[in-house]
Each structure stands twice: as structure tokens, then as C-alpha cells.
Amino acid sequence: MIAIIDYGVGNLFSVEKAFSQYTDDVMVTDDRSLIEKADKLVLPGVGDFGACMDNFQASGLCPAVMDRIAAGTPLFGICVGLQILFEGSEESPDAKGLGVFKGKVRKIHAPGLKVPHMGWNSVEFAQDGLPFFEGLPANPFFYFVHSYHAVPDDESIIAATVEYGEQLTAAVYKDNVMATQFHPEKSGDVGLMVIKNFIDWKCD
């Protein structure tokens, strides 16, 4: 079963609808016992970094999710669900992230361009052979809505980048955790392919 974690933020039902195109075994849940039993987890997130972390902590689900990550359960973070995997953000200096990845989330610097970065943009894969990008064309276009981007201490976890005034992190991947800054559920066929690849992913 794939559990889409409901901690009060995120495009939960649009994410569920996208996953439901490939599997019936997916549900939006705030039930800790179901999260503890799930085969895979999806961590969505939209809006303010601090508000997302406040909601996540208040939900009581954070320890269960962190335990599952530590145990090797595959997790897919989406948008702010990627950002809160890091240690903190310039958007909410007093809020601590989950710290799954070392590094901070920083404001986009794009002189002459509108921030937030909103709309379709092409990404460049930073690594070859990533399972969740399997079958995608080179430089596919995905849908973005964000004003901040993750800057990992360890650049080897960057799976894809996007150019918008500067080079931004579009996706990260390490061990059993993958996450995208773009919204796969809003990115048409290529986004659905990323979702299908996660569903099919055999994480060692």
C-alpha cells in the first residue's frame, strides 16, 4: 500500500488521483498505524516551509515517518515535501526541517525574472540511470511553483536541475528517498511517468 501522508497541507487529492491511474492500492491518510504498515510513502507539501513543519509536528506523524525512512521505506517528497527534508529554510529561519538531507532551502535569485518561479520549465538530469526518470526524454518539461530551492551540502544527491536565473535543484535522490521540487501530478504525461516509476521502484 502507498500512503499519501495527510498532515493538513498539500494537493492531497490531486496527488492521489494521479497515483490512482496506476494502482488501486493508494490512500490519503493521517492514520499513524497505516503509515507504519505502508510499503511506500508520499510526502506532499505546498505553501510556507514553517507552516508545513508546524502542521507536520502537530499531526504527530513526524516520528513515524522518520522511523520509516530510517528503516528503508521508499519515500517520495513533492514540492515543499522536498524542502522540509532539509535542515531549514530562509523562508522560516526559526523552523527546523526534518534533516534527512544536510543543507538549507534558499530564496531564488533571478534578477529580471518573476519570483515565484511558476509554470513549465525543462529540467536537466544530473545523474544517469535514475529509476524514477526511466523512459523520460532528455530535458523534459515539468510544472513548478516555488520561490525557494534546496541547496544540498552534498551535491551528489542532486538528481535534476532547472535553470531560472540561476541553477536550481529540481530533484534529489539518495538511498530510499526521492523528491521533486516540481509537481509531477500537474506535469502531464511526463509527471505521470515519474509517479509510475516510483510505484514500480524496487528500492534495495
Catalytically annotated residues: 79, 183, 185
The residue among 65, 95, 73 whose CA lies nearest residue 83 is: 95
